[in-house]
């Protein structure tokens, strides 16, 4: 298994207002999906026609949340991380942070994101037991940076 190059990408969308927050979605419940029901950033596997992983993150964001951003919104590419799965091989994922001034409306694809309280919305929130509070769809930017081991 080749783990040297990421095979997937995620979009971490950071909204500055009304308060700093990041977008999370709750994955649809599907038996064949190793991340079924998990809270996650919008994202997925690189398609053969994707020129690069930044394109993958932008494409997945648009497919899953109906948010279309350009490359100019890219703030930083974080180091790739290993995504653990319930079944199947682990996947190396490239995370990209995108900055937007205000929260953007989302239209969730029901095949990708399931119904959950506030899923697909930007809200600053808390962390309980290392996971996003179920009633919240986003962590505050500061909390996210702390979880990623970044200083602010």
Angle at 91 between CA 112 and CA 65, to 5 degrees: 25
What SS3 class is residue 142?
helix
What pLDDT shows up at residue 130? 38
Between 99 and 146, the higher pLDDT residue: 99
Condensed to tens digits (0 to 9), the pLDDT of residues 114-142 reads 654 444 555 444 433 333 433 333 344 45
pLDDT of 97 strictly over 50? yes
Condensed to tens digits (0 to 9), the pLDDT of residues 62-90 reads 998 899 999 999 999 999 988 876 666 78
> Any idea where the domains of the chain sit in the sequence?
8-147
Looking at CATH, the fold of the domain delimited by 8-147 is given as Nucleoside Triphosphate Pyrophosphohydrolase (3.90.79)
CA-nearest of 27, 28, 22 to 39 is: 27
User: pTM higher than 0.75 for the full model?
Assistant: no
């Amino acid at each position: 298994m080749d783990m040297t190059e990421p095979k997937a990408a995620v979009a971490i969308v950071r909204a500055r207002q009304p308060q700093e927050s990041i977008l999370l979605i709750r994955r649809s419940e599907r038996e064949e999906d190793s991340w079924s029901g998990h809270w996650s950033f919008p994202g997925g596997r690189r398609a053969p026609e994707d020129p690069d992983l930044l394109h993958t993150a932008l494409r997945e964001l648009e497919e899953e949340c109906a948010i279309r951003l350009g490359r100019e919104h890219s703030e930083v590419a974080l180091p790739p991380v290993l995504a653990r799965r319930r079944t199947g091989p682990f996947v190396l994922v490239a995370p990209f942070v995108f900055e937007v001034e205000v929260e953007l409306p989302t239209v969730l694809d029901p095949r990708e994101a399931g119904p959950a309280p506030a899923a697909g919305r930007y809200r600053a929130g808390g962390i309980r037991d290392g996971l996003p509070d179920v009633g919240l769809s986003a962590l505050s930017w500061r909390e996210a940076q702390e979880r990623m081991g970044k200083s602010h």
